[in-house]
C-alpha cells in the first residue's frame, strides 16, 4: 500500500484499505464452526477482534494476564449478543511456566482449535528481564508466542485433519520491524543492557514475529511434501496500523505529540482490528501462507523479514532458549 492509499483509505487489490473496519472486512461471514484463541483479547484491537469474531458466531477464547479485564470484555460482548461464545483463560506470555500451564489447561478442555491469533504485546518499555531472565520485549512479543504456538500446533493439526477446515495462525507484527538492530536480531546480545534501545528492541521483536510465520510456513510446506495428509494450516503476519492504545503507556506523551502532527496516518480501533480479522477469516486467503499484510493487502516487508536463513536461525535460537528455560 502506498502513502496515498494509507492517507485516503483507498482500497487496495483486496477491495479493502486503511479505512476499512473489522466488521466491514468480515461482512456476511459465518464462523460458527470455528474456535479461535486470541492472546491479549481483552483490550484495544484485541478486544475488537474478539468482539467481531464472536458476533460472527466463532467460539473465542481470550488468553489474558488480567483476568478481571478478560471477564469484563466477555460481559461487554454478551451484552451485545447474549448467545456469543466467549471464554477466558489466564496467560502471562513473559513466563514459560505460565504458557505451559495455559496450554495444559486449554488442552484439558478438549476443544478444537482452528485459529490462533498471537495479538498480545508490550511496547517501548524500559530495560527489564522476564522471570526467565530474557529481555522483556523479546520474551513477551516473540518468545512467548513462539512457545505457545509450538505447544498448540498438535491441537491445530488434529483439528484441521479431523474437520477438513484450514487452520490459520496470525501474528501481529508492526511496520516498526524495519527499525531494529544492525543485524536484525542480536542473537549474541539479547540481554545486553548497555546496547538496549527500547525502540529497536520493540522493532526486533516485531521482526521476529514476521520471521516466525515465515519459518512456520516453510515447515508446513516441507511437511506437505513428505507426508500423505500434509499440514492444512497457514501462518501470516499483519501490521494493524497506528492506533492509540495502552501499548503506548511507556511513551504516551511522545505519541500524542506525534499523533498531533501525523493525525492523517492514525486509525481508530475498529480499523486497527480489520487486517487481523481479514487474515483470520477471509476466504480469499485460503492456502495463502508466509505473507505480511498491511491494510488488508499483501505487502513486501523489510529485507531482514524476507531472509529465510535469518528465519531459520531465529527458530533454532528460540528453540534453544525455550529449552534452556524449561530446564532451569
Identify the three-state secondary structure at position 181.
strand
CA distance 308 to 285: 22
User: How many angstroms separate the CA atoms of 113 and 130, rounded?
Assistant: 28
Q: Is the Cβ–Cβ distance between 139 and 132 less than 8 Å?
A: yes
Active site residue 196: yes
- For the record, the C-alpha cell of 288 comes out as 495463502
Q: How far is the CA of 81 from the CAs of 15, 68, 74, 97, 235, in angstroms?
A: 28, 20, 10, 35, 30
Task: Please list, in sequence order, all residues whose beta carbon lies within 8 angstroms of the beta carbon of residue 225, skipping any fewer than 6 positions away.
Answer: none
Nearest to 115 by CA among 281, 284, 285, 240: 281
State the helix-helix crossing angle for 198-226 and 308-327, rounded to 10 degrees: 100
d(CA 245, CA 256): 11
Are 225 and 320 in contact by the 8 Å Cβ rule? The answer is no
Q: From the CB of residue 262, how many other CB atoms can be counted at a distance below 10 Å? A: 10
Instruction: Tell which residue, 221, 173, 180, 220, has the closest CA to residue 198.
Output: 180
Q: Are the CB atoms for 115 and 60 separated by under 8 Å?
A: no
Distance CA 328, CA 326 (A): 6
Instruction: Let me know how long the chain is.
Output: 328
Q: Hey, how many other C-beta atoms are within 10 angstroms of the C-beta on 315?
A: 18
Contact 265, 242 (CB under 8 A): yes
Say if residue 80 is exposed, middle or buried (CB neighbours under 10 Å; 0-12, 13-18, 19+): exposed
Annotated active-site residue in 181, 196, 292, 293: 196
Q: Which residues are catalytically annotated?
A: 196
Amino acid at each position: 500500500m502506498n502513502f496515498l492509499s494509507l492517507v485516503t483509505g483507498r482500497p487496495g487489490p483486496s477491495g479493502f484499505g486503511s479505512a476499512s473496519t473489522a466488521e466491514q472486512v468480515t461482512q456476511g461471514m459465518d464462523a460458527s464452526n470455528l474456535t479461535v484463541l486470541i492472546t491479549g483479547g481483552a483490550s484495544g484491537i484485541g478486544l475488537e477482534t474478539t468482539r467481531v469474531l464472536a458476533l460472527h458466531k466463532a467460539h473465542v477464547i481470550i488468553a489474558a494476564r488480567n483476568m478481571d479485564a478478560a471477564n469484563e470484555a466477555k460481559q461487554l460482548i454478551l451484552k451485545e449478543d447474549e448467545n456469543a461464545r466467549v471464554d477466558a483463560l489466564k496467560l502471562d506470555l513473559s513466563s514459560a511456566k505460565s504458557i505451559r500451564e495455559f496450554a495444559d489447561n486449554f488442552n484439558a478442555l478438549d476443544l478444537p482449535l482452528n485459529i490462533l491469533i498471537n495479538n498480545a504485546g508490550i511496547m517501548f518499555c524500559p530495560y527489564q528481564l522476564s522471570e526467565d531472565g530474557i529481555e522483556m520485549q523479546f520474551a513477551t512479543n516473540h518468545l512467548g508466542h513462539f512457545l505457545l504456538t509450538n505447544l498448540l500446533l498438535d491441537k491445530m493439526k488434529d483439528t484441521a485433519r479431523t474437520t477438513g477446515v484450514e487452520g490459520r495462525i496470525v501474528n501481529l507484527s508492526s511496520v516498526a520491524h524495519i527499525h531494529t538492530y544492525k543485524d536484525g536480531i542480536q542473537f549474541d546480545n539479547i540481554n545486553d543492557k548497555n546496547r538496549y534501545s527500547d525502540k529497536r528492541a520493540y522493532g526486533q521483536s516485531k521482526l521476529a514475529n514476521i520471521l516466525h510465520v515465515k519459518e512456520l510456513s516453510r515447515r508446513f510446506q516441507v511437511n506437505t511434501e513428505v507426508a500423505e495428509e500434509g499440514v492444512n494450516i497457514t501462518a501470516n503476519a499483519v501490521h494493524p496500523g497506528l492506533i492509540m492504545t495502552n501499548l503506548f503507556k511507556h511513551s504516551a506523551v511522545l505519541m500524542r505529540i506525534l499523533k498531533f502532527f501525523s493525525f492523517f496516518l492514525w486509525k481508530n480501533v475498529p480499523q486497527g482490528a480489520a487486517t487481523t480479522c481479514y487474515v483470520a477469516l477471509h476466504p480469499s486467503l485460503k492456502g495463502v501462507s508466509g505473507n505480511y499484510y498491511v491494510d488488508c493487502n499483501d505487502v513486501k516487508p523489510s529485507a531482514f523479514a524476507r531472509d529465510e536463513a535469518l528465519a531459520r536461525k531465529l527458530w533454532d535460537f528460540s528453540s534453544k532458549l525455550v529449552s534452556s528455560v524449561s530446564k532451569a
